[in-house]
Amino acid sequence: MLQLKLHLEKLECGTDEAGRGCLAGPVTAAAVILPDNFSNEILNDSKQLSLPKRNQLKELIEAKAIAFQVSHVMMDEIDQINILQASITAMQRAIGQLNPIPEFIAVDGNKFNPFYNIPHQCIIKGDAKFLHIAAASVLAKTYRDQFMEKIHEEFPEYNWKKNKGYPTKEHREAIKKYGITKYHRKSFKLLPEQLKLNFN
């Protein structure tokens, strides 16, 4: 069973992102403040959950949370500032929209930048240890997946509704065959060296 949060006496949010390793689409982050009486035996790192469970938990989290916010950082910005900074930016934008403002931030992973004067702690695999980070991971993943399913309709040949922009063999084959779209991250290695793309 996951712990609720790090500091039981503080108004604490958990934050996590989805889509860091993708070749296309945004990096998406969520921030969640859960009530002190929240408990759930299914909630876990979103990667460990089936699609129906994620969707079920999304509704539950949105109904029960004191506050939650989701933020996308799009491809152009990822290319400008790099994926690590884009992930942190997405998390900070989600946190910045929370009402009430948290007194403490629990961050999944090992990198974060100070945000206003709110203390924070990075927790490796935090989404498998704390409920509020797991809740943020579920929202980040479900909102990002919805975005990818929507843009799939515009460019069905990349099959983003299935691969969600990750570097699957099928996705790389489609890039090789059709080239890139406005949703691809140009700063990423989209194809192996021998199949280099020309952006001119």
Task: Give per-residue pLDDT as tens, 58-77.
Answer: 999 999 999 999 999 999 99
What pLDDT does residue 193 have? 60
Task: Give per-residue pLDDT as tens, 130-173.
Answer: 999 999 999 999 999 999 999 999 999 999 999 999 999 999 99
Q: 9 vs 194, which has greater pLDDT?
A: 9
- Architecture, CATH, for domain 12-195: 2-Layer Sandwich (3.30)
- Checking DSSP bridges between strand 120-123 and strand 104-108, what pairing results, if any? parallel
Kind and range of the H or E run holding 104: strand 104-108
What's the 3-state SS for 177-191?
Answer: HHCCCCCECCCCCCC
Task: Give per-residue pLDDT as tens, 91-134.
Answer: 999 999 999 999 999 999 999 999 999 999 999 999 999 999 99
Tokens of 96: 């910045």
What pLDDT does residue 196 have? 54
Q: Could you tell me the pLDDT band of residue 9, with boundaries at 50, 70 and 90?
A: very high
Task: Give per-residue pLDDT as tens, 18-57.
Answer: 999 999 999 999 999 999 999 999 999 888 999 999 999 9
pLDDT of 198 > 80? The answer is: no
Q: Could you tell me the pLDDT band of residue 2, with boundaries at 50, 70 and 90?
A: very high
C-alpha distances (whole Å) from 157 to each of 49, 92, 133, 151, 183 are: 27, 34, 34, 11, 13
Tokens of 99: 């009402």
Residues 172-178: contacts with CB under 8 Å, at least 24 apart: 172/23, 175/23
What pLDDT does residue 200 have? 43
Q: Do 158 and 143 meet the contact criterion of CB atoms below 8 Å apart?
A: no
pLDDT of 194 > 50? The answer is: no
pLDDT of 197 > 90? The answer is: no
Q: Where are the domains of the chain?
A: 12-195
C-alpha distances (whole Å) from 151 to each of 24, 110, 172, 177, 191 are: 10, 31, 17, 19, 21
What pLDDT does residue 191 have? 85
State the Cα–Cα distance between residues 32 and 43, nearest whole angstrom.
Answer: 13
What pLDDT does residue 185 have? 97
CA–chain centroid gap for 74, Å, is 12
Segment 171-199 shows an average pLDDT of: 84
